[in-house]
Amino acid sequence: MRSNDNPHPRRVGVLALAIVLSLLAPVASAHAAVLDNDYVGGTRIKSRESLRSSAPDLSIPSGLLQTMDGRELWARDPTAQRAMASTTKIMTAVVVLEHARLEDVVTVDKKAQTVGESAMGLIVGEKFTVAELLKGVLVQSGNDAATLIAEHVGGTVENFVKMMNAKAAALDLKDTHYSNPHGLDQAGHHTSAADLTSLARYAMRNPTFRDIVNTYTVRVRSDRYTHFLTSHNGLLKTYKGAEGVKTGWTDDAGYCIVFAAKRGGVELVGTIMGASNEVDRAKQAKTLFDWGFKHYKPVQVVAAGESVGRVPISDYMERTVGAVTQESTSVPVFDLAGDVRRKVSLSPDVPAPLRAGDRVGTLTVYQGKSILAQLPLVADRDVPAPTFGQRIVFFFGRIWRGIFG
């Protein structure tokens, strides 16, 4: 049942050799594949072969890529239940942030110090604020910090784990069950790529969480010592736009990462589970996100002042006003999900007086069944109310038309 994030010292030599070999002759890439049951934009590749040539080649058993608002771009066996390693600590931090004050002070005890494996390096008797301990949990991936903070919030580790499972249920994480707050392999401790990605999207709404997981190195000060912490997520340094979120490794889980990045106004979040080594984990994440940013990017769907139709003025006869778009609009478009189309809905008529900029309809932009944007259509000019004389003329004109067509 080892380890999470930090390989056990006895395995460092073996892992170092594996990394060197992977750099010289990447075995993972030789097994990279596009599988029949992979999904692109919610469509299974087996059911639409034309997607195969555009899908990403990956050598992982399970993974998922979504937009930060939840649109699925790519998936492979996303609901498979797997060990989660230190990605567990995403939920640990969520529960802490929702049940503790950041300024609370916590004293290190022996239980936290003796958890083992990946550690922040706590010393019995030290005092930390919750805010500082969270950095130990999310940056250094300290099992000691996770255990200590769980005791503080839950009273006992066991009670805290119940809180984690209650939160998982509240978030409808159906493939997830926690047995501990740190992620070491244990019976009944599992999740899925779908649940991890959903949890990450939820956690990233919290500015404190978002700020911590975007940190590569940090100094944490207790009442006695300064601890120098370094993230295991090297992509924070090497991948443009990287924002976090959490790495993990155990014998059962393999190498995992929940990863978020933002480029050009587009924010993606994804999960890689079961990579073969640390280098492969980073390579797989980079491949998936490069593919995501290539195919999901902003496209201008409307130009400012574009005329899309005319609307009758009800107080006049045979007078209309132009319906135009108010401003240029770009929306993120997944180019593998089909053509983008527009639907114009105009009011049957509008009364005078009317001012330029008054709403006269709606322009809806679709891709497939998804609505990408709904934009107001406005009058292109002022239309004054008709004069008294004009109203008399229009009145008799309508009578004439009613009689003679």
Summarize pLDDT for 213-255 with one digit per residue, the tens: 999 999 999 999 999 999 999 999 999 999 999 999 999 999 9
Q: What residues act catalytically?
A: 86, 89, 141
Distances (CA, A) of 196 to 71, 129, 290, 304: 15, 27, 20, 40
Among 26, 23, 29, 86, residue whose Cα is nearest residue 56: 29
Q: Give the mean model confidence (pLDDT) for residues 201-210.
A: 98
Q: What is the pLDDT of residue 113?
A: 65
In degrees and rounded to multiples of 5, residue 32 shows phi and psi of -60, 145
The angle, 0 to 180 degrees and rounded to 10, between the axes of the packed helices 143-154 and 88-99 is 40
Rounded (5°) CA angle 23-78-198: 100
**pLDDT over 90 at 107, yes or no:** yes
The count of other CB atoms within 10 Å of the CB of residue 3 is 22
Q: What is the pLDDT of residue 18?
A: 46
Tokens 């950095």 found at: 135
Among 178, 184, 115, residue whose Cα is nearest residue 147: 115
Q: What is the pLDDT of residue 21?
A: 40
Q: What is the pLDDT of residue 380?
A: 95
Q: What is the pLDDT of residue 3?
A: 53
Q: What is the pLDDT of residue 117?
A: 67
Q: Dig out the tokens for 33 from the structure.
A: 């594949």
More confident position, 100 or 405: 100
Query: Would you say 363 and 308 are in contact if contact means Cβ atoms under 8 Å apart?
Result: yes
Please, which pLDDT band fits residue 11 given cuts at 50, 70 and 90? very low
**pLDDT over 70 at 312, yes or no:** yes
Q: What is the pLDDT of residue 330?
A: 93
Q: Give the mean model confidence (pLDDT) for residues 38-46.
A: 95
Q: What is the pLDDT of residue 7?
A: 53
**pLDDT over 90 at 48, yes or no:** yes
Q: What is the pLDDT of residue 386?
A: 81
φ/ψ region of 112 (left if φ > 0, alpha if ψ in -120 to 50, else beta) reads alpha
Distances (CA, A) of 386 to 4, 259, 320, 351, 402: 77, 62, 13, 10, 21
End-to-end CA separation in angstroms for the chain: 88
In order of their start, the domains of the chain are: 9-297 (3.40.710.10), 303-404 (2.60.410.10)
Measured CA to CA, the distance from residue 191 to residue 58 in angstroms comes to 20
Tokens 């069944």 found at: 369
Q: What is the pLDDT of residue 109?
A: 86
DSSP state of 5: S
The count of other CB atoms within 10 Å of the CB of residue 238 is 10
Tokens 């919030």 found at: 153
Please, which pLDDT band fits residue 403 given cuts at 50, 70 and 90? confident
> How confident is the model over 127-156, as pLDDT tens digits?
999 999 999 999 999 999 999 999 999 999
Q: What is the pLDDT of residue 119?
A: 81
**Total count of residues recorded for the chain:** 405
Q: What is the pLDDT of residue 10?
A: 42
Distances (CA, A) of 56 to 11, 133, 285, 368, 380: 32, 38, 11, 22, 46
Q: What is the pLDDT of residue 17?
A: 44
Tokens 């609901």 found at: 79
Q: What is the pLDDT of residue 31?
A: 56
Please, which pLDDT band fits residue 1 given cuts at 50, 70 and 90? very low
Question: What does the mean pLDDT of the chain come to?
Answer: 90
Q: Give the mean model confidence (pLDDT) for residues 382-398.
A: 80
Measured CA to CA, the distance from residue 289 to residue 266 in angstroms comes to 11
Measured CA to CA, the distance from residue 176 to residue 178 in angstroms comes to 7
Q: What is the pLDDT of residue 4?
A: 67
The angle, 0 to 180 degrees and rounded to 10, between the axes of the packed helices 88-99 and 130-138 is 170
- CB crowding 202-229: b at 16 or more within 10 Å, else e: bbbeeeebeebbbbeebebebeeeebeb
Amino acid at 133: L
Q: Dig out the tokens for 244 from the structure.
A: 């976090």
Q: What is the pLDDT of residue 305?
A: 94
Q: What is the pLDDT of residue 405?
A: 63
Please, which pLDDT band fits residue 6 given cuts at 50, 70 and 90? low
Query: Would you say 150 and 94 are in contact if contact means Cβ atoms under 8 Å apart?
Result: no
Peptide bond into 245 cis (omega under 30): yes
Query: Would you say 200 and 245 are in contact if contact means Cβ atoms under 8 Å apart?
Result: yes
Q: Give the mean model confidence (pLDDT) for residues 68-77.
A: 96
| Pairing verdict, β 127-129 and 370-379 | unpaired
Percent of the chain with pLDDT over 70: 91
Q: What is the pLDDT of residue 9?
A: 45
Q: What is the pLDDT of residue 393?
A: 74
Q: What is the pLDDT of residue 114?
A: 65
**pLDDT over 50 at 19, yes or no:** no
In degrees and rounded to multiples of 5, residue 135 shows phi and psi of -65, -40
The count of other CB atoms within 10 Å of the CB of residue 390 is 15
Please, which pLDDT band fits residue 309 given cuts at 50, 70 and 90? very high
